[in-house]
Structure formats: structure tokens, C-alpha cells
Structure 1
Amino acid sequence: MTTLPAPSAEALVTSQALCAHIRQTITQAGGWIPFSRYMELALYAPGMGYYSAGSHKLGSAGDFTTAPEMTALFGRTLARQIAELLPQTGGTVYEFGAGTGKLAIDILTELEKLDCLPEHYIIIDLSADLIERQQTAIRSALPHLAGRVSWLSQLPDQLDGVVIGNEVLDAMPCELLHWTPEPLQRGVALDGDNFVWQDRPIQDPALQRQAAALNIQQAGYISELSLSNTAFIHTLARHLVRGAILLVDYGYPASEFYHPQRHMGTLIGHYRHHTVDDPFFLPGLMDLTCHVDFTAIAQAGIDAGLDLIGYTTQAQFLINAGITQLLGELDADDSASYLPVVAMVQKLLSMQEMGELFKVIGFGRGVSIDWQGFAQGDRCHTL
């Protein structure tokens, strides 16, 4: 059995304060909250949640590593796709959940090389701690471009440009359902001071409809359904007057997401580079995520009047957009710097690593439907 690293005393105090806050929330709600509410508090409770308490989340010292942290070629390749689209819009890049700011730095660096800098690069983030880190990193790496970057905590009234989000959808609170075989909403109750599962009949009509539409007859089947994901797409569409939406995340089409063999769902915790099955483990110190149902994402975009441009694997998108050409521009004779980059690119592209599990989906409004990233290997037919 793997022994997980112990948290610091300071971190443990934060987790205990969050647990007390969640217990109080459950009590005030009559003894039960839906899992989506628990996940929201665990991740975003002010000053205590995972994304708002100031812990180091990304990279080797954190809990997980994202593609931008692995190699600058990820962001530089995305920038090539952005450069194709940006001149067709009002010239702004909008990034959701920018992490450490590394993706913004790499995108801006490449766009400058391509002579296609945006008028504005707007980061929309809810974490004050991460915003502070982003500002420090961008000002240090790109002092001459820092004036183009600004931060918002909510959507502007209108979006006219290119919207990007890397691993944003998976961090949105999801509903947890348990089929018995009729679907019940799984929530969190208390047994003393401990959090425990408790199922209740679904009250939300929208959740009822979507759960019924899945037509799952398997008793004991547990899975997620994200109303937050689809609401996010509808909100983007409502604000997008012209431009493109490019989202990268891990997940499946509905036929794979709700496959009979995936009967325990996809909900997982990430703690110090370990995966944890128990979502009640050290609340506030562990990331909670669920995979993305890309069929639901695609349908939400279409229903909201967007053009579904393409859907493919991360590997195919990056190859289409030119990551191998960028790799070829590096100095192969400098093995000390070249070989680690090759290893990271291999991880981004490998079918056994991130290449197949991670997908890219694109939507447009008032822009060309021919995007370099989806030129080959489009999988929209699988949705």
C-alpha cells in the first residue's frame, strides 16, 4: 500500500478549517448537500479550498503537472493555431484558469515571433493566489509584453477573439449519480464528524432529464454528470460575438464515458503526484477532478449556436499544428537541453501517456471553419 506524504502542520490546519466549514454547510442545509456542492467547497471555498488557499499545486513540488509546465513547445504550438485565428477577430486572447502563467508566457513568446501579438491578453481566474503568481511570472519573463496582460474574475460582457482553456472543464464541480437501476443523486452527509455518502432522489428537473437520457440500466453504476461544464459552454457562447473557443482536457465521447465497464465513474483526487480514490481525503489539500464528456460539450456548443469546428486527440492536434516542426528547430547537438524536451514532447504525444486521453475541441463564430489543428484525424463523428 502506498504511503501518502504527510501535510505540513500549517496545511493540516487549513484542511481542518475547511472540514469544519463543510460540516457547517451540511448541517445548515438539513444534513445533506449534493456532491457538486462538496466539490465546489473543497476546491474553491475562500481562503480554504484547494484553488484558493495558496498551496503549491503545479509542477514537481505540487500535486500534478500540466502540459504547459512540461515544455514550452505545448504553448508555442497552441500559439500557431491562435495566430491563424486572431486576425479574423477583434484581436484579444482570453485564457481561463491560467495556472502559473506558463502557458500565457509561451503563447505570447511565440505570437511575438510570428508577428501576431494580441492587442490584449486577458486571464480570467478565480484564485487570488494563482493570479499573484501569474503576474510575477509574466512580468519577470516578458516585461516588455506585461502591459498587454490583464486579469478579470468574471467574463467581460463581450468576447471578440480567441478563448483558450487548458484543463479547465475537469476542475468544475460535477454531479455524482448512482443508478439502482433508477438514477439517484449522490450527496454528502455526516456520521459524527466524518463525511459519508448518501443518495437521494433527483430534484433538479434538468439533472433528471439528462440522467434519464443516458439510459443506463446497470444497477450499482456510478458516474458523473457535469451541469457546470455545459453551463460554461452556454455562457461562453452567449458572450462570444466573434471568435474561436479552444479547449484541451482529458475525457471521452459519451459512448466511452458511460461505457458499462466504467461503472465506478472517473472522479479522482490528485495529491502530491499520487492518485487518491477517496474524495474526502484531506479536503482543500487535494485536487478533485472528473473526466470530460465531450459529447455533452459538443452538444452544448451546437445548441448555443456555435460552429463545432473539430474534435481530436491532443497528439493529433499538436502534430497538425506543427509541434514536430518546432522540435526540429531546436539544437539537437545540445543534448543536455534537447533530450529532456524530446522526452516531454513524447509524453504529450504518446498514446500511452497524454496523447490519446487528452482531447481538443474547437468552436467558432464568424471565423473560418478550416483550422490547422483539425486538418487531419478529426473525430467529430465519434461524438
Structure 2
Amino acid sequence: MNLPQPSADALEQSARLVSRLRSLIEAQDGWISFATYMAEALYTPGLGYYSGGAHKFGPGGDFITAPELTPLFGQALAAQVQQVMELSAPHIIEAGAGTGLLAADLLLELEHRGALPESYGILEVSGELRERQFDTLAAKAPHLASRVRWLDSLPEHFSGALVANEVLDVMPVHLVAWRPDGIFERGVALGADGSFVWADKPAGGKVAEAAAALDVPLPDEGEYVSEINLAGRAWIAEWAARLERGAMLLVDYGYPRAEYYLDSRGTGTLLCYFRHHAHGDPFLWPGLNDITAFVDFTAVAEAGFEAGLDVLGYTNQATLLFNCGVLECLARRAPEDSVDYIRAAKAVQRLTGPHEMGELFKVIALGKDLTQPLIGFLRGDRLHTL
């Protein structure tokens, strides 16, 4: 891999996390699940990727999300958020708010529409990102910043719109290997030199149950490796217990199950990101890389349904944005020959292009006690594919 080199300070931070992980593996009889490893690598306070001080988003970080591309993403999404609030209650919670750009864009667009929420809560595990979100809101929407509150845990009760953009893909996943002699969970152990190595053991408990339910055929030879996101299912169930009226709008990259577990994806979807370079080694510089896995949206729908939520819609990002008026938002950037308009039009192409984010990213809505179809899914709904 031809990757940029981290700074000496970053490598020292990673070394401290490596030491912690080694101690954890030794304390667990020499083996931890990959889900445990991923949780530690991403969320260990002060050392994990999302809990340390690394610059993560935008051109100077490791990846760019839709809100970093253009405000038009949030402006279009605001139409759907507004409808959910009108059908439930004027409150928004955003989970994993990144740099705070989506929060600022949503609030400014809802103000333009005369539909400001009474409150905007942000659920964020990273103290460093909370500071960036505060600074972003203070710079882009200072007159609206007082509506925003940072939450330390899920509310006991909630009515309104929950928004989560690229949250499910960074929840810790279990790795499973289907082999001719059975189903195994792939975890992490220590090599003779103290390095991290893969180690399999027969799957058990909830991992075994979930793997067996997928009905992935055991191969005649070799192995089929993929991921199971039990944390995502549990998170949705927790929200279902708290949502009284409203909808969850979940945006992420992924597939319905029939496409997720294809024969051609026999090595899984796990990816790591470091300074806009994608690679497949989660043991490289723990704490300095983002670690992600694509989302099984059938599992998301099942988790919501089993917890008492209605599956209100499922489609790709392009369809949702077009249904929500992204082109009308773009038209407000006229004149069409201006530099600003041309730049915005190129961003919309990235958001909606079938070979870019438009098809790769999907949107699913799970809700309770809503009486009208959601506008983002009126055309091009793909619920039948789940």
C-alpha cells in the first residue's frame, strides 16, 4: 500500500492504543471478536479514531461526506425532515453529526421554509467533533445555534425526525466465515511477535443465530467471509422503544440482502480510510484509520419491523434528493453561468450520479404513527427489493 505516513505524534497515539488492545486480548484468553477490536479502534476515549483529535472530514481529512460536498444535500433533505415534523412534532435529533455542516444546512433551509424546529439535538460520542460542530454552527448559523443541544445519551421519549448520515457503517461489525466444516467467527489474536493476526473459532450465540438465518450456503471449498452488524440492529431497537411518533431517516452506503451476500462479495465489504486512501488492513495504525462496512438494509428493515416500527420507504440517494427538490434548490443558485452555479451543479452530479454517490448510497425511513406517505419515497421506492 502506498499510503501517506502519519506524524510522529499520531504514531505515538496509535502505539498507545495497540498496547491497550494487546492487554485486552491477553485478558480475554488470547482472542477478541472483530466487533470488539473495531469498537476499540474507533471509540476508545482519547485514542480511538472518532474519540481522538485527528482531522477526519473534508479535503484535509480522510474522507468527504455529502454535507462537505455541498449545502444542497441538507437543503433537499430538509423537505423530508419538514414533512416528518409536520406529521409528528417540531423536533430533530441528528446522530453522528460530523463537522456540523448538515445541522447548519438543515437549520438554515428550514428557516427559509418557515419550519424551524423547536429543538435540534446532536448525539455525538467524540468530544473533538462536538467542538467542531459548535464552531461550525457558530460560523454558519449563529442566530440559530441556541436551538442546538448536545445529548449524552438517547432520550427516554422522542417525537420528531431522527437523521443519521453515514452512522450505521461505522458501527462495530462481527466478521463471519462460512466454510465447508461450518460457520466461524473471525476475531483478533496476537502473533508470536505481538502483532495482530486473524483467528477463527466456531461461531456461537447471537452471531451464530444471525449467520445461520442469512442462509448463506456453505462453500464446497475455501470460505465465504462477510459482516453482521448486530450493533446496528440493537441501536434501531433502542430507538424504536423511544420513538413515540415520527421517523428515522438513515442514509448510508449499502445493499439489500440479496445483493449484499452475493458470491462475488466473498471477501466482505470491510474497508479502511486514511487521508482519502481506501485500504483493507484494519490492523494498520489502529486509531488513525476509519473502519467501515457496507450496510445490509434488509437487516435494518427487519430490526425496525421487529421492534414495532413501520418501514416507510427505501430508495437510493439520488431518488430521495430528486423527490425532495434538489434541482429546485440548485435553481436558486442562478444565474446558470455563474461559477457558484457550475460548482454546485457538479456537486449535485456527484450526489446523484448512478456511478457515484447516487446509487451507492441508500436511504431508509423507519417510523411510527405517521399518516401520510413520505415525499422522499413517492417515486422510485425500492421496498420490494428488501
Q: TM-score range by the shorter chain?
A: over 0.9
* Counterpart Cα distance in 2 of 1:185 and 1:28: 19
Residues 165-244 of structure 1: pairs in structure 2 closer than 5 A:
165-181=164-180, 182-191=182-191, 192-204=193-205, 206-216=206-216, 217-218=218-219, 219-244=222-247
* Counterpart Cα distance in 1 of 2:356 and 2:100: 24
* Counterpart Cα distance in 1 of 2:152 and 2:37: 22
Residues 354-373 of structure 1: pairs in structure 2 closer than 5 A:
354-373=357-376
Residues 316-335 of structure 1: pairs in structure 2 closer than 5 A:
316-333=319-336, 335=338
1:251 Cα deviation after fit: 0.2
1:334 Cα deviation after fit: 5.1
* Counterpart Cα distance in 1 of 2:2 and 2:47: 24
* Counterpart Cα distance in 2 of 1:72 and 1:334: 19
Question: Aligned with 1:368: secondary structure?
Answer: coil
Find the partner of 1:342 among 325, 340, 345: 345
After TM superposition, the score normalised by the length of structure 2 is: 0.97
Question: Aligned with 2:58: secondary structure?
Answer: coil
The answer on 1:44 being equivalent to 2:47 is no
After TM superposition, the score normalised by the length of structure 1 is: 0.98
1:369 Cα deviation after fit: 3.8
* Counterpart Cα distance in 2 of 1:113 and 1:57: 30
Q: Bigger CA drift: 38-47 or 84-93?
A: 84-93
* Counterpart Cα distance in 2 of 1:194 and 1:380: 44
* Counterpart Cα distance in 2 of 1:334 and 1:254: 43
Find the partner of 2:300 among 278, 297, 311: 297
Would you say the 8 A contact 2:76–2:326 is kept in 1? Answer: yes
Q: Which residue matches 1:157?
A: 156
Question: Aligned with 1:261: secondary structure?
Answer: helix
Structure 1, unaligned runs of 5 or more: none
* Counterpart Cα distance in 1 of 2:343 and 2:9: 35
Would you say the 8 A contact 2:333–2:340 is kept in 1? Answer: no
* Counterpart Cα distance in 2 of 1:3 and 1:85: 46
* Counterpart Cα distance in 1 of 2:183 and 2:174: 12
* Counterpart Cα distance in 1 of 2:42 and 2:184: 24
Q: Which residue matches 1:245?
A: 248
Q: Which residue matches 1:27?
A: 26
Would you say the 8 A contact 1:309–1:369 is kept in 2? Answer: no
* Counterpart Cα distance in 1 of 2:347 and 2:284: 30
Aligned residues: 381
Deviations 1:210-245 (A, max 9, x none): 111122222410000010111111111001011111
* Counterpart Cα distance in 2 of 1:122 and 1:245: 14
1:306–1:369 CA distance, 2 compared to 1 (3 A) = farther
Question: Aligned with 2:204: secondary structure?
Answer: coil
Question: Aligned with 2:265: secondary structure?
Answer: coil
Deviations 1:251-293 (A, max 9, x none): 0001110011110000000110010111111111100000000
Q: State the one-letter code of the partner of 1:200.
A: K
Find the partner of 1:277 among 273, 277, 280: 280
* Counterpart Cα distance in 1 of 2:163 and 2:247: 8
Deviations 1:295-326 (A, max 9, x none): 00001111111111100000011001100111
Q: Which residue matches 1:71?
A: 70
State, as a whole percentage, how many aligned pairs show the same letter. 48
* Counterpart Cα distance in 1 of 2:230 and 2:75: 32
* Counterpart Cα distance in 1 of 2:50 and 2:354: 30
Deviations 1:160-214 (A, max 9, x none): 110010000000000000111321000000012200000011222x221111112
